[in-house]
A and B are shown apart, each in its own frame.
Chain A
């Protein structure tokens, strides 16, 4: 088994210089000249590398090296040379690290999280042939924030590095360090540096994860949920404006949609009159962010669109890509204007201060002081009943509209279950959410494919006016055909999927959790 390096912290009263003196008494070693290196740690905005158990560092031993470290073992898993600052996984030259990053990051861009300036002084412990058998690196570390002025010293570290084939010497030296009361560091240098700049890894996630009090009054709970959503929305504003990657806007829109859903579905907890301007405000945000997101989706799908065409005409689709990029640029500029507008800012500001104000008693909010758990049960079971009824009413000849309506209801039901999931036993609530997700994926596919086929035709019209070659339009025509064909398949799959969703055991599971039905 390969041994891992061990990182130690010094005991009280001993510094790196002092340690070196003590080691010199009982060991034969040679010293490398001290070197100073700058390391930058990277992750996506939502900490995907961290969540996958890794740390990604640029400049670990060599300036252009990007390394994935195992964050529990503090060991290097895989390194790769890179020509430029890390960004999207696709831009990293092919190799095992690129493969790993593609799988973990998907469409998310790497962002620098923190810098570490490391002065390292390597002692090489030698045997009688003057061969190095263990390396001991004395590290002085400082951190600096990527943006802003935060910086500071970190505790000195001693890193014991094993050499393959010299395990006995490594263990002997380990004992020596233990006798000097050095203690293995419990967290990595990266974690230390993040603490320094006041960041917590994993502090952002788009997933809903509320801890709710079942007995709290429903209006307080609703505010708690909505403040969480507002935080998510605001966290994504600067990334959306800078268009760092498409996921910022996506998360911003999901938070908007969930807010609107919470307003309408956690019923009777607020005075509708007070809520009305905010409903309109969030409706507006949804509307003005829509076009850029649509174009993002086409750009994300583009490689698949292209690959789905026969090889000989794949190049014909390229003008469509240029068209998408140009329109995306325009839409993005428009979007930034909207986000910077007073209306956008005021809407969010007013919403936050309203959410934080103490609830005013109102005769128009009959559920305001009901227990959260009670209202959650009632709303979820009611919506579930409606979904069941409408879903079962859909036959092979039902119009598409009926499926679209069902999708909306399913989404609302899903959001409600996710908002309130902490009120229910964890494994039990996961099942119905999963079952619902299968239906939602199917309905989503059915509607998205239709919208995409329609949009492609519209884009084709526009491209024709802009002088696109006929070959491109024909390639797009083939694409439209493929999309519609897949849509038919999604439609055919629905009845069976919904039969699964509405079967007796699932119904029982719902009844048991939420009552009613």
Chain B
């Protein structure tokens, strides 16, 4: 089971769209795939038309008293299941704090699912918190969508510092550019400067495209309603890069 987190300290960078589209592509390849919407805003859950509610998530989930398998919902797509978001996730940090081994809770919750799924995608809430630390410790790879601006670069460095400071090693960091607008000079400049300096950067880029925004209208992955679009092929390229990196 490969666990892949999709994360950024900043919100609104295309995280959820990435998790949803890549999970869909993995499932379509025949991999048994699970997407866990950890963000109380529940955008991924909305995209799959699932009710943002998890029985027992308030008190029992972090205490390990909920069998994750029992709260999983099938999406409309073969091989793709979802652990929906719940509003109570906004307080997950508080619950983690009082748990035993607070930084490894997520991993132990996911462990029983390891025979049921080939890929697990974690759609993470923005911010750096105990929840994110849990994700870093559970995941094998961390996808970092970044809008090519100077501010994004700063938050990227903040993250690297955090990982180093907390001795989180063995996590494959996979930054890539998201919401790229090639008409903007600054986007092009920032991409150029980072491409030269960072070997971790994935080659694929996700454009700023209306098809991605339309996911909210169609409530499904781009590939499912606009398979021949530029955005769809960008996600395919990204998924190929990710598989290559995790091989």
Please tell me if the beta carbons of A165 and B72 are within 8 angstroms of each other in the complex: yes
Task: From known contacts A61-B78, A81-B30, infer whether A164 and B49 are also in contact, taking CB-CB under 8 Å.
Answer: no
Q: Are the C-beta atoms of B49 and A166 separated by less than 8 Å? A: no
Tell whether B223 is near chain A: CB-to-CB under 8 Å.
no
Question: Do the beta carbons of A130 and B74 come within 8 Å of each other?
Answer: no
Given A129-B49, A129-B51, A130-B49, also A165-B73 (CB < 8 A) = yes
- Residues of chain A within 8 A of B48, CB atoms compared: 131
Contact A166 to B73, CB < 8 A, known contacts A65-B30, A79-B30: yes
Question: How distant is the Cα of A71 from the Cα of B73 in the complex, in angstroms?
Answer: 26
Contacts of B71 in A (CB 8 A): 165
Q: Is B219 an interface residue (CB 8 A)?
A: yes
Measured CB to CB, the nearest residue on chain B to A61 is B78
Tell me if B81 is interfacial: C-beta within 8 Å of chain A.
yes
Using CB atoms, name the residue of chain B closest to A127: B49
CB <8 Å contact, A62 and B30: yes
Whether B30 and A164, one on each chain, are in contact in the complex, defined by CB atoms closer than 8 angstroms, is: no
B192 lies within 8 A of chain A by Cβ: no
In the bound complex, do residue B73 and residue A124 qualify as a contact, i.e. CB atoms below 8 Å apart? no
Interface residue? B76 (CB, 8 A): yes
The answer to whether A132 touches B76 (Cβ under 8 A) is yes
Shortest B145–chain A CB gap in Å is 26
- Residues of B in contact, count (CB < 8 Å): 14
- Whether, in the assembled complex, A208 has its beta carbon less than 8 Å from a beta carbon of chain B, the answer is no
Once the chains bind, are B76 and A164 in contact (CB under 8 Å)?
A: no
Interface core residue of A62, A65, A130, A164 (most chain B CB under 10 Å): A164
Chain B residues with CB under 8 Å of A130's CB are: 49, 219
In the bound assembly, the distance between CA atoms of A65 and B72 in angstroms comes to: 25
The CA-CA distance from A165 to B73 in the complex, in Å, is: 4
Nearest CB in chain B: distance from A67 CB, A: 10
Q: B28 to nearest A CB, angstroms?
A: 9
Over the window 132-174 of chain A, the binary record of Cβ atoms lying under 8 Å from chain B Cβ atoms (1 yes, 0 no) is 1000000000000000000000000000000111100000000
Q: Which chain A residues numbered 118 to 134 have a C-beta less than 8 Å away from chain B?
A: 124, 129-132
Determine how close the nearest CB of chain B comes to the CB of A430; give it in whole angstroms: 37
Answer whether A164 and B51 are a contact pair too, CB < 8 Å, given A62-B30, A130-B219: no
User: Known: A62-B30, A81-B30, A131-B50. Is A124-B76 also a contact (CB below 8 A)?
Assistant: yes
Q: Mark B208-247, 1 if CB is under 8 A from A, else 0.
A: 0000000000010000000000000000000000000000
Min CB distance, A135 to chain B, in Å? 9
Chain A, 58-77, contact with B by CB distance < 8 Å: what is the 0/1 string? 00011001000000000000
Interface residues of A in 460-495 (CB under 8 A from B): none
Q: Is B74's CB under 8 angstroms from A163's CB?
A: yes
Residues of A within 8 A of B29 (CB): 81
Complex Cα distance A166/B73, Å? Answer: 7
Chain A proximity mask over B69-100: 1 for CB below 8 Å, otherwise 0: 00111101010010000000000000000000
CA of A129 to CA of B51, assembled, Å: 9
Number of A interface residues at 8 Å Cβ cutoff, please give it.
14
- With both beta carbons as reference points, the residue of chain B lying nearest to A62 in the complex is identified as B30
Closest residue on chain A to residue B28 by CB atoms = A62
Chain A residues with CB under 8 A of B73: 163-166
- How would you classify the secondary structure of chain B's contact residues: helix, strand, loop or mixed? loop
Which residues of B sit under 8 angstroms from A166, Cβ to Cβ? 73-74
Residue of B nearest to A124 (CB): B76
B146 to chain A, nearest CB (A): 32
Closest Cβ of chain A to B242, distance in Å, is: 18
CB distance from B13 to the nearest CB of A (A): 27
Chain B proximity of A314: nearest CB distance (Å):
27
A114 → chain B closest CB, angstroms: 24
Q: How far is the CB of B10 from chain A (nearest CB, A)?
A: 29
Please give me the residue from chain B that is nearest to A80 by CB atom. Answer: B30
* A358-415 contacts to B (CB < 8 Å): none
* Cα distance A65–B32 in the bound complex, in angstroms: 13
- In the assembled complex, the CB of A473 is this many whole angstroms from the nearest CB of chain B, namely 41
Partner of B76, one of A62, A79, A81, A131: A131
Instruction: State in angstroms the CA–CA spacing of A163 and B77 once bound together.
Output: 10
Encode A221-251 as 1/0 by CB contact (under 8 A) with B: 0000000000000000000000000000000
* Best-surrounded residue of A79, A124, A130, A165 (most CB of chain B within 10 A): A165
Smallest distance from the beta carbon of A98 to chain B beta carbons, Å? Answer: 14
Smallest CB–CB gap between A326 and chain B, Å? 38
A124 partner residues in chain B, CB cutoff 8 A: 76
Q: How far apart sit A131 and B46, CA to CA, in the bound complex (Å)?
A: 10
A164 adjacent to B81 (CB under 8 Å): yes
Q: Mark A95-135, 1 if CB is under 8 A from B, else 0.
A: 00000000000000000000000000000100001111000
In chain B between 1 and 47, which residues have their CB closer than 8 angstroms to a CB of chain A?
29-30
Bound state CA distance, A447 and B72, in angstroms?
59
Kindly report which residue of chain B lies nearest to residue A131, judged by CB atoms.
B49
CA distance A173 to B49 in the complex (A): 20
Separation of A146 and B51 alpha carbons in the complex (Å): 47
Looking at the assembled complex, report how far the CB atom of A412 sits from the nearest CB atom of chain B, in whole angstroms.
Answer: 49
Complex: how many Å from CA A164 to CA B30?
Answer: 17
Q: Give every chain B residue within 8 A of A165 (Cβ-Cβ).
A: 71-74, 81
B50–chain A nearest beta-carbon distance, Å: 6
Let me know if A164 and B219 touch, CB within 8 A: no
- CB-CB < 8 A to A81: which residues of B? 29-30
With A129-B49, A130-B219, A131-B48: A164-B78 Cβ-Cβ less than 8 Å: no
- Within the complex, the shortest CB–CB distance from A97 to chain B, in Å, comes to 11
10 tightest A-B CB contacts, nearest first: A165-B73, A131-B49, A163-B74, A164-B74, A132-B76, A129-B49, A81-B30, A164-B72, A164-B81, A165-B74
Seen from chain A, the residues whose Cβ lies within 8 Å of a Cβ on chain B are: 61-62, 65, 79, 81, 124, 129-132, 163-166
Q: Which residues of B contact A (CB under 8 A)?
A: 29-30, 48-51, 71-74, 76, 78, 81, 219
A-B contact sample (16 more), CB < 8 A, given A124-B76, A131-B49, A165-B74: A62-B30, A81-B29, A81-B30, A129-B49, A129-B51, A130-B49, A130-B219, A131-B48, A131-B50, A131-B76, A163-B74, A164-B72, A164-B73, A165-B71, A165-B72, A166-B74
Give 7 A-B contacts (CB < 8 Å), ordered by A residue. A79-B30, A124-B76, A129-B49, A130-B219, A132-B76, A164-B74, A165-B73
